[in-house]
Amino acid sequence: MPAYRQAKDQLTHIKKVAQITVQKNEVELLKATLPGTRLPIWLLDCPSLFEREGGPYTSTKGETWPDNAQRFAVFSRVIAAIATDQIGLDWQPDILHCNDWQTALAPVILHFEKSRPGIIFTIHNLAYQGVFPYSTFVDLQLPSELWSFDSMEFYDEFSFIKGGIVYADQVTTVSPTYATEIQTKEYGAGLEKLLQFHSEKLTGVINGINKEEWNPNKDNNIDTTYSIKTLSLKTKNKLALQKELGLEVGGNIPLLASISRLVAQKGIDLIVGVLPYLKNFKVQYVILGSGEKALETALTKAANTNPEQVFVRVGYDETLAHKITAAADFFIMPSRYEPCGLNQMYSQHYGTIPIVRKTGGLADTVIDETSKSAESIKNTGIIFEKDSAVDLLKAIIRGLDIYSNKTIWEKMQLNAMRQDFSWKNSAMQYLDLYTRILDKQ
């Protein structure tokens, strides 16, 4: 990864292992160990490109850095140089695993090399494609043959992500359903035809969750830790949160929650649509998030209108996120599209029942099927299909109905907590893909 200051600051014993000049940029390769592990990591140090105030892709004001194409072209070129042992490390990888458009030029550059490693390219969110004007293509001095519709040209513009899709040996997304969805017009963001064409090499592997960080039995952020064996203690977290946020305190009041970036992708407008109807039910709803101003304002307004039932905290707060996940009965996630999604997995791990829209990773990780009897239910959550506030409301009402039947409710909570969202599962699938690529070479 680039040597962002925040990354460098967390490392000790950094060693400079190589140096390279790429399009007039001096880049140093730094080696260190990922804190708490024995995993070696390399950082590409080029302060003029990567050490800036603000985020990796935007300034402190949230404006996209104007030289993002140049920044990640340099990044990709150094990766390609490492992958072909042109940087003096005397080492070459068997597999290069690139993530998102920022790395997508590496497979392109390697396409022109005689001896290259196997390449896998993972799409984490197809909405972010790295599309730039033709002049950027010219500036980057790439071979003119790449300017074609089956290469990197995209409706008269220059698309980084197309490079990854076209030139990698395998392409993955972060859930099987999303891998299928992005081949349709509705979810394909203009790339559906290209993805259909490459469908033979396109698969989905669901992300795992960090069970050290998200474990109700070890979580230092929450009022009372609990596990499958001590599930009844979960309620104490609800009481503590209600008290902390100034809501009516009561273990039997169903508590709904959402923690999210407040953007259209996450279906926040459906939540806004539902909030006025909560008056008809004895429920509370806690929302934590930040993002688009209009959504922040709409949610805050709803909370001000109905403070007995709705609590909204605008901001980013990891401790509060843990408290909410442990305290809530339902986690609402009505995403329009969701490449994988983490919160529905955290919630299930905490015995908090997710209510989700049937899309992407949500459809792959939440179980909601009809069963013959109450005893045999395998369900771990509630799924609804249409992206409409009415359908979300209906799903919530269905949830409240189940909540009132303590036997089924508890069965569902235990089912949810028993789901395996470990990285081990996903790692095995990646290993399988790596092996397949190597076998073909």
| Shortest distance (Å) from residue 173 CB to ligand ADP | 13
Q: How far apart are CA 320 and CA 314, in angstroms?
A: 11
Q: Please report whether residue 317 would count as binding ligand ADP according to CB under 6 A.
A: yes
| Number of residues in contact with ligand ADP under rule CB under 6 A | 14
Q: How far apart are CA 223 and CA 234, in angstroms?
A: 9
| Shortest distance (Å) from residue 122 CB to ligand ADP | 14
Stretch touching ligand ADP by CB under 6 A, among 29-37, 175-183, 316-324, 393-401: 316-324
Q: How far apart are CA 43 and CA 7, in angstroms?
A: 9
Nearest to 119 by CA among 162, 167, 175: 167
| Shortest distance (Å) from residue 263 CB to ligand ADP | 8
| Shortest distance (Å) from residue 230 CB to ligand ADP | 24
Q: Please report whether residue 254 would count as binding ligand ADP according to CB under 6 A.
A: no
Q: Please report whether residue 259 would count as binding ligand ADP according to CB under 6 A.
A: yes
Nearest CB to ligand ADP, comparing residues 104 and 340: 340
Q: How far apart are CA 251 and CA 238, in angstroms?
A: 7
Q: How far apart are CA 40 and CA 36, in angstroms?
A: 11
What three-state secondary structure class fits 415? helix
| Shortest distance (Å) from residue 26 CB to ligand ADP | 33
Nearest CB to ligand ADP, comparing residues 30 and 321: 321
Chosen residue from 164, 341, 354, 381 binding ligand ADP by CB under 6 A: 341
Q: How far apart are CA 329 and CA 175, in angstroms?
A: 25
Q: Please report whether residue 173 would count as binding ligand ADP according to CB under 6 A.
A: no
Task: Spell out the alpha helix ranges (H) of 41-96.
Answer: 47-50, 68-83
DSSP for 209-272, please give it. Answer: --TTTS-TTT-TTSSS---GGGGGGHHHHHHHHHHHHTPPP-TTS-EEEEEEEESGGGTHHHHH
User: Which residues touch 193 (CB under 8 Å, ≥6 apart)?
Assistant: none
Chosen residue from 307, 316, 378, 405 binding ligand ADP by CB under 6 A: 316
Q: Please report whether residue 352 would count as binding ligand ADP according to CB under 6 A.
A: no
Q: How far apart are CA 79 and CA 109, in angstroms?
A: 10
Q: Please report whether residue 213 would count as binding ligand ADP according to CB under 6 A.
A: no
**Tokens of residue 336, six digits:** 């329009």
Stretch touching ligand ADP by CB under 6 A, among 218-226, 231-239, 258-266, 412-420: 258-266
| Shortest distance (Å) from residue 97 CB to ligand ADP | 19
> Residue 61 gets which letter from DSSP?
T
Q: How far apart are CA 404 and CA 392, in angstroms?
A: 19
Q: Please report whether residue 318 would count as binding ligand ADP according to CB under 6 A.
A: yes
| Shortest distance (Å) from residue 325 CB to ligand ADP | 8
Q: Which of residues 271-290 bind ligand ADP (CB under 6 A)?
A: 288-290
| Shortest distance (Å) from residue 296 CB to ligand ADP | 11
Nearest to 263 by CA among 291, 288, 293, 287: 291
Stretch touching ligand ADP by CB under 6 A, among 33-41, 310-318, 364-372, 383-391: 310-318
Binding site for ligand ADP (CB under 6 A): 259-261, 288-290, 316-318, 321, 340-343
